[in-house]
């Protein structure tokens, strides 16, 4: 009998409040000990999207209960922690500030070092926490897609070398799902609804535009995304049907829209892998929950001889553990803590891994 191995490395508590999930995670090195998430998603439903002030108010109420729950889940006490980690950006500024204020006070109260972490790099770090024993290989291309961001990254080193290849120039992909769902009379959040309805639709029924995919656009925006034009094209198509008094084939519209988003996401991600000679693609963000995104990623990566990695869904959506694990990696590689004077930066560039 071998004794229970709980992993080695720094014991870190991570606080994530960049959007509508209050996430508290605890890791020891690369071992996940707790991942508690309180979401205010339902409160945003009637508005059809995340309302920043509602999200920030919800964080303030959810933080302490989530902290308690995470400590219980990890079965540790606060004094055992080696460090506190917190998302300092990018994200909704009022929401980020709740986490930053709490994390700083907790660090001072416990006299522990604090690490201010980049949310997007956290999404990549989530893969370090999977427990199937396979280790993330670098460099990798990472495609991060959620309601708040759509980014394509080149990750050479988790704690020192992350490069932004491209991002959305208008709506995030998740936002487009929400808007099209509303157009089709489906509830918020749109991702799972579109996914459900699309299951019985024909993805080839309507050829919706693929944003920034024309040769002219590719020159300037090879790895950038745009979903605003797609959203408008879907709206126009649906309006024409309705104006003509014809029924709207909701399943076909949903499937064709989902196909357009998925196609452009993966075409650009695979192009990045090929162009840069990096045969690895990592997915992250809530949109990974979408069945078609996972499926098409599998097919395209297999065709191109690219290794595909998708962390477990509970680590793909926003969470505190992914923030904690980046701090644990920073500690392991000898990086000094962030000090106490960093602020919340809603547009923190991905190259700033630690603020």
Site for Zn ion, rule CB under 5 A: 146, 318
Q: Is residue 54 a contact residue for another protein (CB under 8 A)?
A: yes
* Least spacing, CB of residue 109 vs Zn ion, in Å: 28
Residues 57-86 as x/- pattern, contact with another protein by CB under 8 A: x-xx--xx--xx---------x--------
Q: Single out the residue of 74, 102, 155, 253 in contact with another protein (rule: CB under 8 A).
A: 102
Count of C-beta atoms within a 10 Å radius of residue 349: 13
Q: Single out the residue of 11, 36, 98, 143 in contact with another protein (rule: CB under 8 A).
A: 98
Q: Is residue 236 a contact residue for another protein (CB under 8 A)?
A: yes
Between 259 and 318, name the residue whose CB sits nearer to Zn ion. Answer: 318
- CA 214 from chain centre, in angstroms, equals 27
Closest CA to 58 of 98, 118, 100: 98
Contacts for 285 with CB less than 8 Å, ≥ 6 apart: 123, 144, 145, 146, 149, 174, 316, 317
Separation of alpha carbons 72 and 37, rounded Å: 14
* Least spacing, CB of residue 281 vs Zn ion, in Å: 18
Count of C-beta atoms within a 10 Å radius of residue 169: 14
Q: Single out the residue of 72, 75, 108, 351 in contact with another protein (rule: CB under 8 A).
A: 108
- Binding range to another protein, per CB under 8 A, among 123-131, 232-240, 246-254, 317-325: 232-240
Contacts for 193 with CB less than 8 Å, ≥ 6 apart: 181, 186, 187
113 binds, among Zn ion, another protein, none (CB under 5 to 8 A by kind): none
249 binds, among another protein, Zn ion, none (CB under 5 to 8 A by kind): none
Residues 199-218 as x/- pattern, contact with another protein by CB under 8 A: --------------------
169 binds, among Zn ion, another protein, none (CB under 5 to 8 A by kind): none
Q: Single out the residue of 19, 27, 106, 129 in contact with another protein (rule: CB under 8 A).
A: 106
Q: Is residue 51 a contact residue for another protein (CB under 8 A)?
A: yes
- Binding range to another protein, per CB under 8 A, among 107-115, 190-198, 247-255, 321-329: 107-115
Between 24 and 296, name the residue whose CB sits nearer to another protein. Answer: 24
Between 96 and 183, name the residue whose CB sits nearer to Zn ion. Answer: 96
Q: Single out the residue of 93, 213, 267, 346 in contact with another protein (rule: CB under 8 A).
A: 93
Residues 165-204 as x/- pattern, contact with another protein by CB under 8 A: --------------x--xx---------------------
Taking CB atoms, the residue at the shortest distance from Zn ion is 318
146 binds, among Zn ion, another protein, none (CB under 5 to 8 A by kind): Zn ion
Contact 138, 158 (CB under 8 A): yes
């Amino acid at each position: 009998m071998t004794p229970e191995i709980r992993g080695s490395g720094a014991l870190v508590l991570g606080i994530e409040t960049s959007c509508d999930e209050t996430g508290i995670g605890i890791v020891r090195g690369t071992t996940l000990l707790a991942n508690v998430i309180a979401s205010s998603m339902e409160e945003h439903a009637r508005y059809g999207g995340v309302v920043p002030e509602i999200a920030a108010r919800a964080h303030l109420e959810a933080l302490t209960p989530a902290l308690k729950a995470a400590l219980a889940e990890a079965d540790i006490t606060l004094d055992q922690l080696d460090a506190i980690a917190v998302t300092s950006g990018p994200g909704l500024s009022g929401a980020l500030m709740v986490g930053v204020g709490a994390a700083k006070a907790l660090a001072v109260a416990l006299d522990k070092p604090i690490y201010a972490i980049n949310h997007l790099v956290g999404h990549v770090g989530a893969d370090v926490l999977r427990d199937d024993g396979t280790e993330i290989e670098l460099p990798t291309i990472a495609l991060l897609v959620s309601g708040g961001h759509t980014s394509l990254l080149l990750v050479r080193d988790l704690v020192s070398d992350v490069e932004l290849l491209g991002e959305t120039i208008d709506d995030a992909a998740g936002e487009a799902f929400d808007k099209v769902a509303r157009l089709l009379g489906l509830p918020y959040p749109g991702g799972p609804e579109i996914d459900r309805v699309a299951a019985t639709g024909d993805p080839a029924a309507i050829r919706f535009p693929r944003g920034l995919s024309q040769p002219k656009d590719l020159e300037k925006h090879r790895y950038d995304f745009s979903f605003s034009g797609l959203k408008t094209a879907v709206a126009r198509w649906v309006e024409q049907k309705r104006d003509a008094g014809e029924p709207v084939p909701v399943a076909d519209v949903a499937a064709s829209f989902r196909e357009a988003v998925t196609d452009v996401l993966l075409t650009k991600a695979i192009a990045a892998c090929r162009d840069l000679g990096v045969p690895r693609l990592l997915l992250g963000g809530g949109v990974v929950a979408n069945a078609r995104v996972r499926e098409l990623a599998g097919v395209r990566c297999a065709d191109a001889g690219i290794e595909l990695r998708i962390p477990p869904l509970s680590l793909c959506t926003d969470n505190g553990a992914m923030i904690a694990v980046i701090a644990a990696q920073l500690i392991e590689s000898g990086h000094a803590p962030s000090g106490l004077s960093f602020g919340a930066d809603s547009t923190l560039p991905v190259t700033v891994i630690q603020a």
